Amino acid sequence: MSMDKIYDLIIIGAGPAGIAASIYAARKKFDFLVLAKDIGGQISWSGDIENYVGYQFITGIELTRKFQEHIDQYGVEVKENEEMTGIESTGGLIQVYTTKGTYKARTAIIGSGKRSMELGVPGEKEFRNRGLAYCATCDGPLFAGKDVVVVGGGNSAIEAALQLIKIAKKIYIVNNIPELGGDEIIREKVVASSNVTVMNNTIVKAVLGDKLVDAVSIEREGKEERLPVQGVFVEIGLIPNSEFKSDLAKNEHGEIKVNCFNETNVPGIFAAGDVTDVPEKQIIIAAGEGAKAALSVFKFLAKKH
């Protein structure tokens, strides 16, 4: 395939926003390309999904598979393991730069999503995948019968703890503020569990171990102590994948600013889902935004021809 080809549309990301945009783009008979690190995005590392319309209950892996099947039906061209490094509008065309090359299109939809925030403490990088993880869904089963710590106090943390209750022997939730937040029903289930200990107003100072994690250093009430655990789950929230080079306007959280038509401040570049400043980061909202962005692209291209 020639890199000089000019597509109608390039979609960046294949999470709920990118997949929905792809389906609508295929139905509108666009000549388009999807560039993505992987299919499914955050969904592929979600556990049980209970609020997606049409499914009372589905796992993240199953929903990812359904998404894959849906785009396969339309023969959508997806280039995986491509990460966008920059995007710009030049001479009426959108140039998309990735780790593997440059692509041109008349329009683009950015649906690059979010990723886990890091603690930024000693030992975090060294023990990644050696006892420290960012996804309880993916890695939880590896810690069967072990003592683990979940770092965080919001939805990410309590959902991770809920998944670990039946797997781990003991779960410590280390939360740096006075009270746990997140969904009340999930929080109550977690707090009521006999193998969960909540440690509020507590900070993780370091991750310790030899070849594998064997403890974390924590600070509570001004005192440092060693908490022996074999697993650390970092669940302190998400940051948008928006660091690529661009002239796009962003808010203070690094989210791309969009209007209700999913337009950014750069004509021809649209954005959808968790990478944007749209309130509420939910699968159903990201999917709806992706569909809306593709319809906006259709109107944009119709006016130009």
Per-residue pLDDT tens over the stretch 82-130:
999 999 999 999 999 999 999 999 999 999 999 989 999 999 999 998 9
Residue 21 and residue 109 in contact, taking contact as beta carbons nearer than 8 Å = yes
In a domain, 122, yes or no: no
Contacts for 121-128 with beta carbons within 8 Å, 24 or more apart? Answer: 121/204, 121/205, 121/206, 121/207, 122/205, 122/206, 122/207, 123/206, 123/207, 123/208, 123/209, 123/213, 124/207, 124/234, 126/207, 127/207, 127/209, 127/212, 127/213, 127/232
Q: What is the C-alpha separation between 41 and 227, in angstroms, rounded?
A: 33
What CATH number did the domain enclosing 161 receive?
3.50.50.60
Answer with the one of 196, 214, 234 that is the final residue of a domain: 234
Q: What is the pLDDT of residues 27-50, one digit of tens each?
A: 999 999 999 998 998 887 766 787
In a domain, 44, yes or no: yes
- Domain check: are 112 and 201 in the same one? no
In a domain, 127, yes or no: no
- Domain check: are 109 and 22 in the same one? yes
- Domain check: are 16 and 149 in the same one? no
CA 167 vs. chain centroid, Å, equals: 24
> Could you list the residue range(s) of the whole structural domain that residue 193 is in?
132-234
Q: Is the pLDDT of residue 239 over 80?
A: yes
In a domain, 111, yes or no: yes
Answer with the one of 234, 266, 291 that is the final residue of a domain: 234
Q: What is the C-alpha separation between 287 and 71, in angstroms, rounded?
A: 13
- Overall number of domains in the chain: 2
Q: Is the dihedral of CA 56, 26, 5, 258 positive or negative?
A: negative
- Domain check: are 19 and 101 in the same one? yes
Q: What is the C-alpha separation between 277 and 233, in angstroms, rounded?
A: 27
3-state DSSP assignment of residue 59 = strand
- Domain check: are 248 and 101 in the same one? yes
- Domain check: are 46 and 106 in the same one? yes
Q: Quote the mean pLDDT of the chain.
A: 94
- Domain check: are 15 and 72 in the same one? yes
- Domain check: are 34 and 180 in the same one? no
End-to-end CA, the chain: 25
- Taking the model in full, what pTM does it have? 0.81
In a domain, 124, yes or no: no
Q: What is the pLDDT of residue 1?
A: 45
- Domain check: are 108 and 14 in the same one? yes
Answer with the one of 200, 217, 234 that is the final residue of a domain: 234
Q: Is the pLDDT of residue 305 over 70?
A: no
E-assigned strand segments in the chain: 6-14, 32-39, 48-49, 58-59, 78-79, 84-90, 93-98, 102-110, 114-116, 132-133, 147-151, 170-174, 196-199, 202-209, 213-220, 223-227, 231-234, 238-240, 269-271
3-state DSSP assignment of residue 295 = helix
- Domain check: are 167 and 246 in the same one? no
Smallest CA-to-CA distance from 13 within 104, 108, 102 is with: 108
- Domain check: are 20 and 84 in the same one? yes
- Domain check: are 111 and 242 in the same one? yes
